[in-house]
Amino acid sequence: GTVPEHTPKEEFRDLVASLPRREQSILELRLYQGFWLPEHWVPGTIVFQRRFAPRPDDVILASYPKCGTTWLKALAFATAARTAYPPASAGHPLRRLNPHDCVPFIDDIFATGEDAKLDALPSPRLMNTHLPYALLPAPVVTGCRVAYVCRDPKDMVVSLWHFLRRAKPDLSFADTFESVCDGTVAAGPVWDHVLSYWRASVACPDRALFLWYEDLLHDPAGNVRRLAEFMGCPFSAAEDVAAVVDLCSFDEMKALEVNRPGSGTAGRYRVMPRDAFFRKGVAGDWANHMTPEMAARLDEIFREKIRGTGLAF
Ligand code: A3P
């Protein structure tokens, strides 16, 4: 007879079923190697860990969800591809594609058995993940460059709540807030996620870059220069960084036809509309959603967790 084809989901069904389980609003979480991953991420993560064939010039973009993934993908893509696609050109891919359709999620590609898509990407490859550094395969850690974007956890919680509400309109802010505080949140605990990349960036600054969403807002050109240098394609003094910054600016991207409400879904996100990735794009929106007491509590949790690491929020 014929050998049945197994998808990663089928292949690792028993393993996944054996992992501790929790619920977070619309998500089923499984505790995998110290992190609460959405259940549907686990098979792709395992395949990524076992079968990913890194190339020395790979650049992996990493983030905790809602911390600037979409922006980092756009900036890195526009930067890396700027010779082939001048950022000011009307036909730039980012003017007709959502950033999630320009840079693939590695573990999602493995989850759906589309490994060949990664092999087909031209070098240097640009890919992304929401996995913590601790879960990245050893050859990535020793052989690839990883750029991470971090954000004030208070704004991340607000952004996460608005995002999840697109799928579950009656989700309470308090629920989302509590799940972040106690660590049982997708890809959490958040502090361990952030610390995993922070420590890597301190230990190996050539291979792990640590960026802040707030710094990108404050000085986009300076941070894009850092990113370009890190990726191995530095901007010359004469080159126009502003064109990349403008192309990827919140207002530009939000206004694009491709990102308007009703335009469909993006990349791995099979249910989330593309406009859900462009909400407000500012720092400090937390003040409109939580009491000073809640803010102080979240700040204190993070302060406690990162004490002595050199990281400061
Ligand atoms: P808000 O919900 O606070 O507006 P991610 O891309 O990791 O899912 O994060 C989404 C957050 O980044 C959202 O934050 C979104 O508005 C913001 N964002 C998306 N694109 C952006 C851009 N080009 N510039 C600035 N912020 C952006």
pLDDT for 148: 98
pLDDT at 278 over 80: yes
pLDDT for 2: 56
Task: State the helix-helix crossing angle for 292-306 and 173-182, rounded to 10 degrees.
Answer: 20
Q: Report helix, strand or coil for 57.
A: coil
pLDDT at 1 over 50: no
Name the residue of 97, 103, 128, 277 whose CB sits within 8 Å of the most ligand 1 atoms, as the mutation to test its pocket.
Answer: 277
Among residues 130, 162, 193, 289, the one annotated as catalytic is 130
**How far apart are the CA of 255 and the centre of ligand 1, in A?**
14
* CA atoms within a 13 Å half-sphere pointing along the CA-CB vector of 213: 26
Which residue has its alpha carbon closest to ligand 1 atom 8? 66
Which residue has its alpha carbon closest to ligand 1 atom 17? 281
Which residue has its alpha carbon closest to ligand 1 atom 22? 250
Q: Round the average pLDDT of the chain to a whole number and report it.
A: 95
CATH code of domain 22-306: 3.40.50.300
**Segments making up each domain of the chain, as ranges:** 22-306
Q: Which two three-digit tokens encode residue 171?
A: 């989700």
Q: Is 130 annotated as catalytic?
A: yes
ipTM over 0.95: yes
Q: Which two three-digit tokens encode residue 301?
A: 């949790």
pLDDT at 267 over 80: no
What's the distance, CA 148 to chain centroid?
A: 8
Which residue has its alpha carbon closest to ligand 1 atom 5? 66
Q: Starting at the edge strand that comes first in sequence, how are the strands of the sheet with 126-129 ordered?
A: 126-129, 59-63, 145-150, 208-212
**How far apart are the CA of 60 and the centre of ligand 1, in A?**
19
pLDDT at 287 over 90: yes
Listed residue (59, 12, 100) closest to 227, CA to CA = 59
